[in-house]
Amino acid sequence: MELIKDKVFGGERPLYRSSDLRLESVVIAAGESGLKECRNIEADGCRFEGKYPFWCTKGFAVRNCLFTEGARAALWYSENLVMSDSTVEAPKMFREMDGLELTNVKLLNAAETLWHCKNIKLKDVVANGADYIFMHCENVEIDNLTLNGNYSFQYCKNVTIRNSVLNTKDAFWNTENVTVIDSTLNGEYLAWYSKRLTLINCQIVETQPLCYADNLKLRNCTMAADADLAFEYSDVDAQISGHVTSVKNPRSGHIVADSIGDAILDENIKLPANCVIEVRK
């Protein structure tokens, strides 16, 4: 593997179609497509300032690196990335990628990030300003994600999340096969129109969660006082610890809680309208 160390590259495509290359303390300065169409690349302690540095790249490892705001849309149409101990200040990262592993990474401006990606693993990641993160992603495994941004995980499939704090309204809309374990879900209108969503040991915060859901399961979850008007038109099997402020017109299933403030079943309920709602004895 060729080593390039302590160099600065700028302009248009300075390392275009490189392969078997290790970069140490290299700066990819203002310009475009610094490492486009590359193979088998390692970057350690590098700084990326120009646009689109890693497009159409296959097999690359990024460690201890910084992507400045100028390095927007840095990683698109690429395969098999391992990124660790790095900071990303730029938006619109990670699009149309297959094989993506992030460990101890800070995404400080994560708007429109991780779109149409598959086979993703995240561990110890912080994502701020993360509106519309994870749009249309598949096969996602997450452990210890702190997420601040709305409209997350829309249209995702096959997702498992553990030990995370998600501050995000309109999360998990139109998702399929999502499981969230030991996490806090803080945001209104949680998981509307989801299919096969399972929540285990989770705290649910803010209004009108889990409506229009199909095959929804909750196990040992808690609901904050503002998580009212829950489960409207949902097919739900919920075992809730503690108090539920209000439940409104669940379509079918079974809801059990330690106490329920208000069970609203009115003329607008949808068939089969046979959900059993009970207080645990």
Residue 1: the pLDDT is 85
C-alpha span between 223 and 184 (Å, rounded)? 10
User: Is residue 105 a contact partner of residue 84, using CB atoms and an 8 Å limit?
Assistant: yes
User: Is residue 111 a contact partner of residue 128, using CB atoms and an 8 Å limit?
Assistant: no
Residue 281: the pLDDT is 79
CB atoms within 10 A of CB 30: 11
Q: In tens digits, what is the pLDDT along the chain, a chain of 281 residues?
A: 899 999 999 999 999 999 999 999 999 999 889 899 999 999 999 999 999 999 999 999 999 999 999 998 999 999 999 999 999 999 999 999 999 999 999 999 999 999 999 999 999 999 999 999 999 999 999 999 999 999 999 999 999 999 999 999 999 999 999 999 999 999 999 999 999 999 999 999 999 999 999 999 999 999 999 999 999 999 999 999 999 999 999 999 999 999 999 999 999 999 999 999 999 97
CB atoms within 10 A of CB 17: 11
CA 77 to chain centre: 19
Residue 200: the pLDDT is 98
Half-sphere exposure (CA, 13 Å, Cβ side) for 266?
7
User: Is residue 63 a contact partner of residue 46, using CB atoms and an 8 Å limit?
Assistant: no
C-alpha span between 205 and 209 (Å, rounded)? 8
pTM: 0.94
